[in-house]
């Protein structure tokens, strides 16, 4: 089974789509797919579907949605078998793929791929490369991890409480990887190449201090000191106006370094601020 949730939902068994078009079964599959090979409690699925106000028939209705998914799975298995696809694990049935267990359901990936797991694997390798000072390797690995995203997680799924929470969590992991990849690129002297991307990111994430700090540094290194200071003023204005907060000490130090010192001092100040900025963003 191949599972993609970092963008539009796509779940394929033996290469055949089992993704339903109806909104509720789609929600059920999305939550099961995100937690593939793990039991998803019935209570979590009910909360996802009805947000704390389930009908009396909630369990029966959920079973109906599971049955609809199994029909799609069975059809996919039949198509694969008729097409001569070999299954090394032996012939699976729909109930082997979408398993009923005490307290919940489990989507058995059969050792297939999931984009979330691949993202976590590549991002983890990228973080370890950063920690060891291998900035080219970190930039490459984190860029590869981020390329798995084709849009917001579950972009075409009408999410409930559970999926909305998971979407926010996944977006945070994406931002962390993006932050580290940009940091690696800055350390490799790719400040000019980053300017277009950081222009968009600073506009999209108007209170994200670390991205703004990286934008300031990239502008300054590109000889655009005044624009770097303008970025700081816009960030400060947004933070004060919307959150009642001043920029963090790390960002303020970076602003002072740009204002008063040469490029070498700015680089040193920025590198000393990296850990603090990461916590703020």
Residue ranges in the chain whose pLDDT is less than 70:
83-90, 261-281
Chain segment 212-264, per-residue pLDDT in tens: 999 999 999 999 999 999 999 999 999 999 999 999 999 999 999 998 855 44
The 3 state secondary structure assigned to the chain is: CEEECCCCCEEEECCEECCCCCHHHHHHHHHHHHCCCCEEEHHHHHHHHHCCCCCCCHHHHHHHHHHHHHHHHHHHHHHHHHCCCCCCCCCCCHHHHEEEECCEEEECCCCCCEHHHHHHHHHHHHHHHHHCCCHHHHHHHHHHHHCCCCCCCCCCCCCCHHHHHHHHHHHHHHHHHHHHHHHHHHHCCCHHHHHHHHHHHHHHCCCCHHHHHHHHHHHHHCCCHHHHHHHHHHHHHHHHHHHCCCCCHHHHHHHHHHHHCCHHHHHHHHHHHHHHHHHHC
CA 178 to chain CA centroid, nearest Å? 10
8 A C-beta contact, residue 18 and residue 69: yes
* Cα distance between residue 116 and residue 105, in whole Å: 20
pLDDT at 91: 77
Check whether domain 191-281 has CATH 2.40.340.10, yes or no: no
pLDDT at 278: 42
Q: Which CATH class is domain 2-107?
A: mainly alpha
Label residue 204 exposed, middle or buried (CB < 10 Å: 0-12, 13-18, 19+). exposed
pLDDT at 272: 57
Count CB neighbours of 1 within 10 A. Answer: 23
Give 125's contacts (C-beta < 8 A, 6+ positions apart): 141
* Cα distance between residue 94 and residue 170, in whole Å: 29
Q: Which residue has the tokens 């190449």?
A: 193
pLDDT at 101: 94
pLDDT at 85: 56
* Cα distance between residue 144 and residue 120, in whole Å: 11
Six-digit token pair at 172?
């945070």
Delimit the CATH 1.25.40.10 region(s) of the chain: 191-281
8 A C-beta contact, residue 152 and residue 9: no
Residue 202, CB half-sphere, CA atoms under 13 Å: how many? 28
Delimit the CATH 1.10.10.10 region(s) of the chain: 2-107
The pair phi, psi for residue 4, each rounded to 5°, is -130, 125
* Cα distance between residue 192 and residue 54, in whole Å: 54
């Amino acid at each position: 089974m191949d599972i993609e949730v970092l963008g539009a939902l796509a779940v394929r068994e033996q290469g055949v789509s089992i993704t339903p078009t109806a909104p509720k079964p789609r929600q059920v599959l999305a939550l099961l797919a995100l937690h593939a090979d793990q039991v998803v409690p019935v209570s979590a699925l009910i909360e996802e579907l009805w947000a704390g106000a389930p009908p009396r028939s909630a369990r029966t209705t959920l079973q109906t949605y599971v049955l609809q998914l199994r029909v799609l799975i069975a059809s996919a298995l039949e198509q694969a078998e008729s097409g001569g696809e070999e299954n090394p694990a032996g012939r699976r049935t729909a109930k082997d793929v979408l398993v009923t267990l005490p307290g919940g359901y489990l989507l058995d990936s059969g050792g297939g791929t999931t984009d979330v797991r691949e993202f976590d694997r590549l991002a983890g390798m990228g973080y370890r490369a950063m920690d060891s000072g291998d900035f080219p390797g970190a930039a490459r690995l984190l860029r590869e991890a981020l390329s798995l995203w084709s849009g917001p997680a579950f972009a075409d799924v009408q999410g409930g409480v559970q999926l909305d929470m998971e979407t926010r969590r996944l977006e945070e992991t994406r931002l962390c990887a993006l932050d580290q990849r940009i940091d690696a690129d800055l350390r490799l002297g790719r400040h000019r190449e980053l300017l277009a991307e950081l222009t968009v990111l600073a506009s999209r994430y108007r209170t994200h201090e670390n991205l703004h700090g990286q934008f300031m540094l990239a502008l300054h290194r590109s000889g655009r000191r005044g624009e770097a200071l303008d970025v700081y003023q816009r960030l400060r204005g947004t933070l004060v106006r919307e959150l009642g907060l001043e920029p963090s000490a790390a960002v303020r130090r970076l602003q002072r370094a740009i204002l008063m010192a040469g490029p070498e001092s700015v680089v040193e100040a920025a590198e000393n601020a990296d850990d603090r900025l990461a916590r703020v963003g």
